[in-house]
Structure 1
Amino acid sequence: MNIPESTDTFKQVFYTHYPVVRRKLAALVRDETAADDLAQEVFLKLYRNPPDDPQALGAWLHRVLTRTGYDYLNKKARERLLQTRQEIFFNAEASPPSGEEAVLSKMEQEDVRQWLEELPDRDRQALLLRHSGYSYAEIAGKLGVKPPVVGTLLNRATQKLKQQAAETLP
Structure 2
Amino acid sequence: MGQAPDLDPKTQFRELYVREYPSVFRSVRAMVLDSATAEDLTQEAFVRAYRAREKYRPSGPPGAWLHRIAVNVAISYLRRQKLSRIIAPKLLAGPYLGDYGRVEAKTVLERALARLSPKVRAAVVLHYYHGYTRDEVAKALGIPSGTVASRIAKAMAVMRVELVGSEQKLEAARSER
TM range (shorter): 0.3 to 0.5
* Structure with more of its chain in helix, by fraction: 1
Work out which structure has the larger RCO, using CA pairs closer than 8 Å and 6 or more positions apart in sequence. Answer: 2
Compute the TM-score of the two structures, normalised by the length of structure 1: 0.41
